Structure 1
Amino acid sequence: MTETFETSSVPDERNAWRGRPALQQPKYEDYQELNQVTSDLKTRPPLVFAGEVDKLSRSLAAAAEGKSFILTGGDCAETFVGSTADKIRAKIQTILQMSVVISYGASMPVVKIGRIAGQYSKPRSADLETRNGISLPSYRGDAVNGFGFTAEERRPDPHRLMEMYQRSATSLNLIRAFTRGGYADLRQVHNWNRGFTDNPAYARYENLAGEIDRALRFMEAVGSDFEAISFVDLYSAHEALLLEYEDAMTRVDSRTGDLYNTSAHYLWIGERTRQLDGAHVQQCASVRNPIGVKLGPTATAEDVIALSKVINPNNEIGRLSLITRMGAKQIYERLPQLVREVKAAGIPVLWICDPMHGNTVTSGTGYKTRRFDDIMNEVAAFFEIVVNEGAIPGGIHVELTGDDVTEVLGGAEELTEDALADNYETLVDPRLNHQQSLELAFLVAQMLGKC
């Protein structure tokens, strides 16, 4: 059945978020200009479709039952200048390589989700940034303002929302071409390397790639049908932060009359915007997309139970993901009780680990960074705790790039503080590079193999 979306007739719940506390929103100079942009956005074609969203929801439900595993990865904050074919392809390749390592090592399907095609905004800890006595609005991502420290660059510009839409559309088109046009064919896995040599992580991947290649050649020799492995589904995700943009991309599905946010398949609510009475929770509750909620060390089971009643009142498995971001130093103290009490409440949730955001530090050379050992330790602790509490570790959510950046300390290449300056590109948070991402995938495969 062909899907269509309507914007002229929408249920009352679509506007229920208006009038509620709305944190982390840009302060536009001209809201009439903003309304003109969002009115235009409402007439634009959807970026994703209801059937795709429903398919992902079923996959998330399987992960919550331990039948698959969720891998979410991509930029901390996408940039317009960085939305090139080469950079998108490199991110896709990294996610696909990680998924092969995890799936083969753990004998489990991996659901692939990219922080791609919409992750152009970020919450900030302060509204203003001050340099040399001059205060300007903080950089909130390319969807809001520019990174350059000038009054013009930092002015929130609503026309950037349209630019985000256009960039997201072209990115999704490229993703579909790559994942459906043969690039993701597992038979090509032995050609996916990026030229790494003489380091342990790459050697391990090469060995595994060789095993997969031999298995595939055997399957081909006995006449297996390879259509199922010649393409993959790669879903898009971003933080549902900019309320006016998300509202403009919300449409009515003609099949069911339900609301779907067509800006991405999967959306999450950040730690800073998960207030029960807040606009972000209400807006996400109104759509049929699967929803994630980031939970920091202050989160309680009472918070989760209350959020579940709003976001998932029918207790649909796969509807609500809990993305924990405790930090390696606090996870053993904070997570066990949370998992235990949520499980006791009988709430169907999907547990996912974000090992990035709780482990941010400032290097002695002044760079915002993370230690790879902290990231690995939090993932290992997450698996241990969730399993010990009788729940299912369902996924990881990481900030990564396919490029050879120097933003996270450590790893097989033993990146030092002095080396951070070599290729530090991120405008907000530090990301795993290609090799570090593969190292993490090996750890996850090992952890899953023990579950």
Structure 2
Amino acid sequence: MSSTSTAAGASASTRSYHANPTWKSKKEAQQVDYPSKEAFQSVMDRIERLPGLVSPNEIDRLRSQLASVAEGNAFLLQTGDCAELFDYCNPEQIQAKLKLSLLMSLILIWGARKPVVRIGRIAGQYAKPRSKPTEIITKVDPATGETSKHEIISFRGDNINAFSPEPASGRIPDPERLLQAYFHSAATLNHIRSELASGLADLHAPRQWSFQHVQSSALQAEFESVVDSLTDALDFMKTIGADPSTFASSSVLNSVDYFISHEGLSLAYEEALTRLVRKPTTANPHAARNVHPSDVPDIKDDFERYDLSAHTIWLGDRTRQLDGAHVDFFSSIRNPVGIKVGPSMKPEELIQILDVLNPDVAIPASASSGRASGWSTPSGASNVVYGKEKGRVMVIIRLGAGKVASHLPPLLEAIAASNHKDSIILLCDPMHGNTQTSPYPPASSDPNAQPLKTRSFGDIISEILSFLQIISSDFPTLHLGGVHLELTGDKDVTECFGGSMRLEPKDLERGYKSHCDPRLNFEQSLDVAFLLSHYFRNQRLVGKARGGARTEEEIQKQQAIIASGSGDELLAELICGITNRPQSS
């Protein structure tokens, strides 16, 4: 192909993040039917005048860190509740989630020897997509004891309506709840920032982090080993004068970045918190203060849109229509974005969506060094190349343990063959595809009590390990960028069975607190972190020492465990290995 035709092709496939989005003219999935459009618009006008919850600079910092994840130089840990409630906005629960994320990331860093980018499903995860607009509940007449069925509006999340079915009027969508969502998000984020600024993440005092929930003596010993090694390393750094904390008020050793995210369901809410930022130029390298799009009648190409409701938002499996409003909105913002990929996603559809969300953009030639593919140079612009922005899109794959073997390879084949292969971040979401109904009916006498939704820890681990196995065996140009987990730091939660606690389905009702989907509890979350840390440690040590390499027999045994879906058996084997292995590396 001639250079002229190459340049033409680059121009034809190139689009900028459009400052004049057209999402309002497209069909919006999961729309909420508010009784009063005037009241809804009044709330949106009020939110539009409020400050953003995050800043464009913070979003740009996340973009930079996610580029490292896309290159394989960092690992992404995205964790939090399936759906937040306003009641979760209290110091104890916020701190519990934050501490758990810090503990997990410390364990992962120690095994993988990579930085961990932490993103919470917090400070805005109040919306809940539903497959049906209504649900059926059973009521009991207190006088006669007779039961009757009633159809009411489905619970859509605390920012839409009330969880309680009584009174039924509480299920009527109320736009004032979106305003409450803003302020609860602001309060949650403020507490997160104050805790981190106060030294919650100080690696000089890791023993102050709570590990009391853990019942497994082997896992406790493993964490103690990590802490002992870390403390020893920090003491050495301090002795030789290399500890930044001895001469700087803030360093990577006593503070961390923690970013927030949620599913972007209500586009009106997201638009109300979207601001325009003027692109930096050579003459003016500092971006202008952000303004709302409604304040700029003629939006020019020198503005970029930042959604300041969160550092990153994601598209759900129910809102990823290629010609829909959500994909259009997501393509218009500079935030990094995620897309949930379930079993119904076709490989060609995924690539089409990626083409929209991460178009070819002009990037300075200096920033393209080290990349051998996917770039093209327009004629007359030797200092500019066109290509994909690294880390712009997180592909969050949620298939279920039983479908990974059949559904994941075609998706990875399509990605590996596309020009997105070295720019996207592959995340494994082992939660959403593994939801099941507990075989034990609830013991409650409440006629509205439903069978408990739960997840098997074995399925969760099997999906993660199958994901890793398929990538390492068949797709050497790709890598697992991170995991996306639903979990809680709250005490005494029993919503998923299995793990080192050996919870059984009959134990679930003892501490079932979720109003949405089942979450990993504190100890199960650390189980996942130790398993991943152990896996990455082995990968890191391969070739360095004979003990780091696995025998063919060990590989076949792990593959058999994965095939059987017995993640608990693999966990038991890991705990045994942790207990017996020499403490090194």
Structure 1 position 207, deviation (Å) = 2.5
3-state SS of the aligned residue for 2:201?
A: coil
Alignment: residue pair count: 441
Counterpart residue number, 1:4: none
Match 1:297 to one of 333, 336, 343: 343
Report the Cα distance in structure 1 between the residues aligned to 2:22 and 2:393, rounded to whole angstroms: 20
- Kindly provide the amino acid, as one letter, of the partner of residue 161 in structure 1: L
- For residues 22 and 197 of structure 1, do their structure 2 counterparts lie closer, same or farther at Cα, with a shift above 3 Å needed? closer
3-state SS of the aligned residue for 2:527?
A: helix
3-state SS of the aligned residue for 2:185?
A: helix
3-state SS of the aligned residue for 1:329?
A: coil
Which structure's CA Rg is the greater one?
Answer: 2
1:247-262 correspondence to structure 2 within 5 Å: 247-254=271-278, 255=287, 257-262=303-308
Counterpart residue number, 1:137: 153
Matched, 1:433 2:521: yes
Structure 1 position 15, deviation (Å) = 4.4
Contact 1:70–1:111 (CA under 8 A) maintained in structure 2 = yes
C-alpha distance after superposition, 1:276-305 (max 9, x if no partner): 011111111110000110000122221121
Counterpart residue number, 1:148: 164
3-state SS of the aligned residue for 1:228?
A: coil
Report the Cα distance in structure 1 between the residues aligned to 2:210 and 2:239, rounded to whole angstroms: 24
Counterpart residue number, 2:259: 235
Report the Cα distance in structure 2 between the residues aligned to 1:68 and 1:16, rounded to whole angstroms: 35
Single out whichever of 295-304 and 423-432 deviates more from structure 2.
Answer: 295-304
Matched, 1:359 2:359: no
1:47-446 correspondence to structure 2 within 5 Å: 47-132=53-138, 133-150=149-166, 151-196=168-213, 198-199=215-216, 200-223=218-241, 224-226=243-245, 227-254=251-278, 255=287, 257-314=303-360, 315-347=388-420, 348-365=423-440, 366-388=451-473, 389-390=475-476, 391-404=478-491, 405-446=493-534
Report the Cα distance in structure 2 between the residues aligned to 1:14 and 1:122, rounded to whole angstroms: 28
Single out whichever of 388-397 and 354-363 deviates more from structure 2.
Answer: 388-397
Report the Cα distance in structure 2 between the residues aligned to 1:148 and 1:335, rounded to whole angstroms: 38
- Kindly provide the amino acid, as one letter, of the partner of residue 331 in structure 1: V
- Kindly provide the amino acid, as one letter, of the partner of residue 73 in structure 2: K
Structure 1 position 209, deviation (Å) = 2.2
- For residues 409 and 258 of structure 1, do their structure 2 counterparts lie closer, same or farther at Cα, with a shift above 3 Å needed? same
3-state SS of the aligned residue for 1:186?
A: coil
Counterpart residue number, 2:25: 19
- Kindly provide the amino acid, as one letter, of the partner of residue 29 in structure 1: P
- For residues 14 and 371 of structure 1, do their structure 2 counterparts lie closer, same or farther at Cα, with a shift above 3 Å needed? farther
Counterpart residue number, 2:363: none
Report the Cα distance in structure 1 between the residues aligned to 2:152 and 2:84, rounded to whole angstroms: 22
Contact 1:380–1:447 (CA under 8 A) maintained in structure 2 = no
Contact 1:102–1:444 (CA under 8 A) maintained in structure 2 = yes
Counterpart residue number, 2:582: none
Structure 1 position 14, deviation (Å) = 4.5
Report the Cα distance in structure 2 between the residues aligned to 1:201 and 1:149, rounded to whole angstroms: 42
What is the percentage of aligned positions where both structures have the same residue?
A: 40
3-state SS of the aligned residue for 2:515?
A: coil
Contact 2:214–2:523 (CA under 8 A) maintained in structure 1 = no
**Greater than 4 Å deviation, 4+ residue runs:** 11-15
Structure 1 position 201, deviation (Å) = 2.9
C-alpha distance after superposition, 1:75-115 (max 9, x if no partner): 11110011111100000000000000001111000000001
Once superposed, what is the RMSD of the aligned Cα atoms? 1.5
Structure 1 position 194, deviation (Å) = 3.8
Structure 1 position 198, deviation (Å) = 4.3
Report the Cα distance in structure 1 between the residues aligned to 2:181 and 2:214, rounded to whole angstroms: 37
3-state SS of the aligned residue for 1:129?
A: strand
Report the Cα distance in structure 1 between the residues aligned to 2:480 and 2:240, rounded to whole angstroms: 36
Report the Cα distance in structure 1 between the residues aligned to 2:134 and 2:469, rounded to whole angstroms: 40
3-state SS of the aligned residue for 1:114?
A: strand
Single out whichever of 117-126 and 35-44 deviates more from structure 2.
Answer: 117-126
3-state SS of the aligned residue for 1:18?
A: helix
- For residues 198 and 72 of structure 1, do their structure 2 counterparts lie closer, same or farther at Cα, with a shift above 3 Å needed? closer
Report the Cα distance in structure 2 between the residues aligned to 1:278 and 1:386, rounded to whole angstroms: 31
- Normalising by structure 1, we get a TM-score of 0.95
Report the Cα distance in structure 2 between the residues aligned to 1:148 and 1:135, rounded to whole angstroms: 14
3-state SS of the aligned residue for 1:238?
A: strand
Specify every segment of 5 or more residues in structure 2 that has no aligned partner in the other structure, as ranges.
Answer: 1-16, 139-148, 246-250, 279-286, 288-301, 361-387, 441-450, 541-585
- Normalising by structure 2, we get a TM-score of 0.74
Report the Cα distance in structure 2 between the residues aligned to 1:25 and 1:211, rounded to whole angstroms: 52
Report the Cα distance in structure 1 between the residues aligned to 2:131 and 2:239, rounded to whole angstroms: 57
- Kindly provide the amino acid, as one letter, of the partner of residue 232 in structure 2: R
3-state SS of the aligned residue for 1:53?
A: helix
C-alpha distance after superposition, 1:389-433 (max 9, x if no partner): 120110101011111211111111111112111111110001111
3-state SS of the aligned residue for 1:415?
A: coil
3-state SS of the aligned residue for 2:244?
A: coil
- Kindly provide the amino acid, as one letter, of the partner of residue 252 in structure 1: L
- Kindly provide the amino acid, as one letter, of the partner of residue 327 in structure 2: V
Contact 2:161–2:171 (CA under 8 A) maintained in structure 1 = yes
Contact 1:197–1:203 (CA under 8 A) maintained in structure 2 = no
Single out whichever of 324-333 and 147-156 deviates more from structure 2.
Answer: 147-156
